[in-house]
Amino acid sequence: MREVIKSGKTLEEAIEEGLQELGLDKSEVEIEVLEEASKGLFGLLGAKAAKVKLRENIVPQKKAINILKEVFNCMGMDVNIEKEEYEDYTKINLSGPDLGILIGRRGDTLDALQYYINLAANKNMEKRVRFVVDVEGYRQRREETLYNLALRLADKAKRKGRDVILEPMSPYERRIIHTALQNNKEVFTYSEGDEPYRKIIIAPKK
């Protein structure tokens, strides 16, 4: 956590110098007034400058982006990072050339990266933030694929009158399948097995 101590003829001047040195906005720092400015006798003798301490206010969102920048720098990758703030989570969108390596097989690498960011960015933070990390809309496309798969396999279970067992999926992907079929009147879903081999069963209602 960076901090600086600055002096100036006024508090405003001292604060502005500190902000310039840190390269931050006022909303990104905590300001502690160490000494108030005083004009002294007749405005000359004993005049004192204002002195303030500015401490960088680290929030999980900024920490997450800094961590990602370090990761991509080590990998030698040119990645554009954008964030979107929502009520109960922050979405980080990654874009750039040849980012398939960040997605991995069925999103395994992307899920691992997201898990790491949620742990690292929230470490020692008073207020935790849930992060969703995506690469050029991959998650939305994957959700649509899984939703359509759920409907097709539910129809298969209904027509053949027997359970349909899906391949092992992550908790995130299983949640999509369960949600897609939760109001289906012909089938129901449940999960069995241990991670990372836990799978969904789509069963016809008797």
The correct CATH number of 60-136 out of 3.30.300.20, 3.30.930.10, 3.10.20.30, 3.30.300.30 is 3.30.300.20
Q: Can you tell me which residue has the tokens 């395994």?
A: 108
| Per-residue pLDDT reduced to its tens digit, 74-84 | 989 999 999 99
Taking 70 as the threshold, does the pLDDT of residue 28 lie above it? yes
Half-sphere exposure of 192 (CA within 13 A, CB side): 9
Give the tens place of pLDDT for each residue, 111-122.
999 999 999 999
> pLDDT exceeding 90 applies to what percent of the chain?
45
Contact yes or no for 92/80 (Cβ under 8 A): no
SS3 104: coil
User: What value does the mean pLDDT take over residues 90-116?
Assistant: 90
d(CA 10, CA 38): 9
Q: What confidence category does residue 43 fall into, taking pLDDT thresholds of 50, 70 and 90?
A: low
Axis-axis angle for helices 138-160, 171-181 (nearest 10): 50
pLDDT at 42 over 70: no
State yes or no: pLDDT of 44 exceeds 70. no
CATH architecture of the domain 140-204 equals 2-Layer Sandwich (3.30)
Top pLDDT among 206 and 54 is at: 54
Judged against a pLDDT cut of 70, whether residue 40 lies above it is answered with no
Q: Cα(53)–Cα(11) distance, rounded to whole angstroms? A: 11
Pairing type for strands 50-56 and 90-95 reads unpaired
Element (H, E) at 103: helix 100-103
Q: Where are the domains of the chain?
A: 3-56, 60-136, 140-204
What tokens does 37 get? 């400015």
Mean of per-residue pLDDT scores for the chain: 87
Q: Which two tokens stand for residue 59?
A: 């929030």
Most confident of 17-31, 120-134, 179-193: 179-193
